């Protein structure tokens, strides 16, 4: 239950961060609850045990929520949410034919991290932007790339932490393919890419945001140190998640344009 509320806080905080950075007043629509349904399953599937046991019920519920939003809100918003919701459904429900049997998306080779990255990127960046009718531009593309890069690192850290249980379960993940140490180096490389994207995005217009992104990337980079992660992998993963949450929350107070938007809402 604690993880469920943490996921809820993270989804809402990241979605609000997106809205404010794009220049819109945040609105806590019921859509946030649907976004939680669309992302929570791929972020912490143990919190969704009922849905894991009842995959058809889960798929039906997600589609029902999407239909309701489509009727009450706008078809394009429902469409934007439909894709990550269906990915989440496939992540939990054995509906994908693979080698003569039905498997979940997470059971496909190396699909686990990719699914998490795509879903969280779409739900916390694309859905809020579509909600406000924001046009696709360079800023939005950079923001999406930054978010997906950061989520990729967090998801890969979790896979490194769970390498033994994944091996027992028969999953094929990146750490099982290239090893823990190389996977940690991959995390650090992607964090560097994340910071370079942030430089291009915020370097000239929002230096405080660039500083915040740099501190966040450096903090997670320290957590991917080989010795520290080997000794405290669960703590490192948890602290990395917390850093992402703090990044979103601090944005609302650190960024002057963001504060002005909130004041005028």
Residue 156 in tokens: 């890969």
Give pLDDT, residue 201.
92
Give pLDDT, residue 137.
86
Give the span between the Cα atoms of 159 and 119, in whole angstroms. Answer: 17
Give pLDDT, residue 47.
45
The answer to whether the CB of 115 falls within 8 A of the CB of 105 is yes
Give pLDDT, residue 28.
57
pLDDT tens for the 265 residues of the chain, in order: 556 667 777 888 888 888 888 887 776 554 555 455 445 555 555 444 444 444 444 554 555 555 555 545 555 666 667 777 777 777 777 778 888 888 887 888 888 899 889 888 888 888 888 877 788 888 899 999 999 999 999 999 999 999 998 898 888 899 999 999 999 999 999 999 999 999 999 988 888 889 999 999 999 999 999 999 999 999 999 999 999 999 998 887 766 555 565 556 6
Give pLDDT, residue 132.
77
pTM here is 0.83
Which residues are paired to 102 by β-bridges? 97
DSSP conformational letter for 108 = S
The answer to whether the CB of 188 falls within 8 A of the CB of 152 is no
Total structural domains within the chain: 1
The answer to whether the CB of 121 falls within 8 A of the CB of 151 is yes
- The parent domain of residue 146 ranges over 2-264
């Amino acid at each position: 239950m604690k993880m469920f509320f943490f996921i809820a806080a993270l989804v809402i905080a990241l979605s609000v961060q997106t809205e404010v950075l794009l220049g819109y007043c945040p609105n806590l629509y019921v859509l946030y609850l649907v976004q939680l349904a669309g992302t929570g399953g791929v972020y912490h599937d143990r919190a969704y045990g009922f849905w894991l046991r009842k995959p058809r019920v889960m798929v039906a519920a997600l589609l029902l929520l999407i239909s309701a939003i489509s009727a009450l809100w706008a078809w394009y918003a429902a469409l934007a949410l439909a894709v990550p919701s269906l990915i989440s459904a496939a992540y939990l429900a054995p509906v994908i034919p693979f080698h003569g049997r039905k498997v979940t998306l997470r059971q496909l080779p190396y699909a686990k991290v990719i699914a998490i990255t795509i879903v969280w990127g779409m739900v916390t960046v694309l859905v809020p932007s579509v909600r406000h009718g924001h046009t696709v531009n360079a800023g939005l593309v950079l923001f999406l790339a930054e978010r997906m890069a950061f989520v990729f690192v967090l998801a890969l850290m979790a896979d490194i932490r769970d390498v033994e249980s994944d091996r027992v379960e028969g999953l094929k993940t990146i750490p099982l393919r290239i090893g823990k140490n190389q996977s940690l180096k991959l995390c650090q490389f992607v964090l560097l890419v994340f910071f370079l994207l942030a430089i291009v995005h915020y370097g000239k217009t929002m230096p405080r945001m660039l500083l915040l992104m740099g501190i966040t990337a450096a903090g997670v980079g320290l957590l991917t140190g080989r010795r520290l992660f080997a000794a405290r992998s669960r703590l490192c993963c948890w602290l990395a998640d917390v850093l992402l949450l703090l990044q979103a929350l601090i944005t609302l107070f650190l960024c002057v344009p963001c504060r002005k938007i909130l004041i005028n809402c």
